Structure 1
Amino acid sequence: MLAALAAFTIWGLAPLYFKAVGTVPADEIVAHRVLWSVVFLAALVGFMRQGPALRAAFGNRRLLRTLLFTALLTGSNWLVFVWAITHERVLEGSLGYFINPLLSVLLGRLFLGERLRPLQKLAVAIAACGVAWRIAAVGAVPWIALFLALTFGIYGLLRKRTPVDAIVGLCVETVLVLPLALGWLGWLYLTGDLHFGHDLHIDLLLPVAGVLTATPLMLFAFGARRLPLATVGFLQYLAPSLNFLLAIFVFHEAFDAARLAGFVIIWCALALYTADLLRASRAPSRA
């Protein structure tokens, strides 16, 4: 429980870190996140003695194709999330991660043939109404929220079907996109737009991105294997809730009645979804 709580708390408070390096463009932050994640994860894989598993993963071409696609999904997800934070759109980013569990249920129905229970169907329908209200009331499609929810939902769908350990899989993913990150950092250096190396404060903070990427995932993997699905499903709302609170009370983003109404509708959908998870988890125990 403590491991899972720590993971979601780190994810929830991550905007504070990205605000601290907010003078650096989102593309360079993501490139550094990939670079330092490889360094940290390689050390972690060595410490956990997962070298054979890592070599086996790189020897599986089918697995590599899947992990390359999931790496591009997470890379684009990171880029939009960091861009949203540095452009004062944390509130919309939190909306995406509130929607994500319900979108994952829908993706499971469409691509895995998983049956939706009545409360799940109702929750998905209510969430769709919340998004529709947000579009009608604010007058703009919440593209950040929808993009984050969709990319992370598809990532979860693919990784669920991928036979690889969480840490090893993430290490392979980051190694696969490392050439892109190094190439972009090299281009920024040649054009004189590289921020790294000009400010000691930023130089010390950017490598932390690797630790911030791998540590919560490791804690989550440890906790998720030992907790009931319903508990994990409930705890996952901690991260977007912390994002939401930071956006309102720390970053002071605009939040009117129309936006509040959209969040309330989606929170109602999440309450139904959570109630269904709890009921479903208790049913086997009673049986």
Structure 2
Amino acid sequence: MHLSGRGVAMSVFASLIFAVIPGYALYLGPLDGVQVFAQRILWSLPAVFVLLIVAGRISMLKEALLRLVREPILILALLLTAALLGVQWLIFVWAPINEQMLDLTMGYFLMPLSLVLVGRVFYSEYLRRLQRIAVCFAAVGIIHELWVVGGLSWVTFLCAVGYPPYFMLRRWMGFDSFSGLFLEMLLLAPVAIYLIVNYAPADAFSIAPQLWYLLPGLGLISAMAFAAMLGASHLLPLGLLGILSYIEPVLLFFVSVFWVGEIIESGEWLTYIPIWIAVVLVVFDSARVLLKQSRRLN
């Protein structure tokens, strides 16, 4: 498969899995959002290591460690990416538990536009005609939401602006997606241990024994989804990655309404319909490009 085809497939896979995680977090009581975040970090760490082995990337992990020794500036960059990642992972499981799912969804609607802007300003990336039209439709929906609500919540803001600098740093660092994620998990692990030791309910696993298999499952799907998203970020232009990222908030919207049970006011449909049109245009455009690529290969 062509590199951009692989990138599109990985991005869609990541969006599908990420959309499941907020609903999944609702079944992890009596843990609150912070404890789910801490447990997610600890259970994701072995899952990412197993994926490293299965994918044959151990040599790349060794190379990344050697680069950290040779280039100390990368250690500072890794600390920053770990912090940015930690904030996003915390919000992602805290929001549904605290009835902030729609704010989270709006943040992920805004985040792709942030990626498109970063790709255009910092990497001189250009969008095809249908992609530009899709961005315009998405912008109409978002502007309507801003007009109706009158501003952005802190959850929405952090989701919208957190990932672009993360992806830029990861691209500059040049680490393999699995290796970089594993190193970030290692840096976040002490924070997770501290939160669990000092603040976790002592009888959580006796009250809810299903946590023994639900938490490892959360770690596994988190690792797979994030590794796929990072792989897509290395294979695709940031502009295209940003457009494809609209698939995730559309799915999160359905999770918010039909799984979490949040209510959409009648006026808010004018926010979501233009964005859904944008997604349809993106899917059509991507499918057309991939079809042309396959014809050239054949």
Distance 1:168 1:21 in 2: 28
Report the alpha carbon displacement of residue 253 of structure 1 after superposing the two structures with TM: 0.9
Q: Say whether 1:51 aligns with 2:51.
A: no
Range moving further from structure 2, 41-50 or 117-126: 117-126
The CA distance in 2 between the partners of 1:74 and 1:95, in whole Å, is 19
Aligned position for 1:30: 37
The aligned residue for residue 18 of structure 2 is 11
Return 88-97 or 208-217, whichever deviates more: 88-97
Give the aligned partner of residue 42 of structure 1: 49
Asked whether 1:188 is paired with 2:207, we answer: no
- Counterpart AA for 1:253: E
Number of the residue aligned with 1:255: 264
* Structure 1 alignment gaps of length 5 or more: none
**Greater CA drift, 169-178 or 18-27:** 18-27
Q: How far apart are the structure 2 equivalents of 1:164 and 1:116?
A: 26
Q: Measure the CA separation in 1 of the matches of 2:128 and 2:243.
A: 18
The answer to whether the Cα contact below 8 Å between 1:74 and 1:155 also exists between their aligned partners in 2 is yes
1:78-227 equivalent positions in 2, closer than 5 A: 78-114=89-125, 127-188=138-199, 193-194=201-202, 196-199=204-207, 200-219=209-228
Secondary structure, counterpart of 2:205 in structure 1: coil
For residue 210 of structure 2, give the secondary structure of its aligned residue in structure 1: helix
Deviations 1:203-245 (A, max 9, x none): 3322222102112244556788899999977764443222211
Conserved 8 A contact 1:21-1:202: yes
Contact between 1:37 and 1:210, CA under 8 Å: does it hold in 2? yes
SS at match of 1:197: helix
Q: 2: distance between equivalents of 1:229 and 1:105?
A: 6
One-letter amino acid matched to 2:268? R
Q: Could you list the per-position Cα deviations for residues 175-222 of structure 1 after superposition, in whole angstroms to 9, with x for gaps in the alignment? A: 111111112222225xxx456433312233222221021122445567
Q: Matched residues in 1 for 2:278 and 2:53: separation?
A: 43
Gaps of 5+ in 2: 1-5
Stretch moving more, 202-211 or 223-232? 223-232
**Partner deviation per Cα, 1:85-110 (whole Å, 9 max, x = no partner):** 11233233223223322210101233
Alpha-carbon RMSD across the aligned residues, in angstroms, is 3.7
Identical amino acids, percent of aligned pairs: 30
Shift of 1:18: 0.8
1:40 aligned partner, one-letter code: A
Aligned-partner residue type, residue 197 of structure 1: F
1:243-282 to 2 correspondences below 5 Å: 243-268=252-277
Distance (whole Å) between structure 1 residues aligned to residue 123 and residue 240 of structure 2: 23
C-alpha distance in structure 2 between counterparts of 1:83 and 1:257, whole Å: 26
Q: Secondary structure at the match of 1:164?
A: coil
Query: TM-score if structure 1 supplies the norm length?
Result: 0.80
Residue pair 1:102, 1:270 contacting (<8 A) in 2 also: no
Closer/same/farther in 2, CA of residues 227 and 134 from structure 1, 3 Å limit: closer
User: Which amino acid in the other structure matches residue 19 of structure 1?
Assistant: L
Q: Deviation per CA, 1:129-158, whole angstroms, max 9, x where unpaired?
A: 533432331344243233212112222232
Letter aligned with residue 181 of structure 1: A
For 2:240 and 2:121, locate their aligned partners in 1 and report how far apart those are by CA, in whole Å. 25
Structure 1 pair 146–221 and aligned structure 2 pair: CA distance change class (3 A): closer
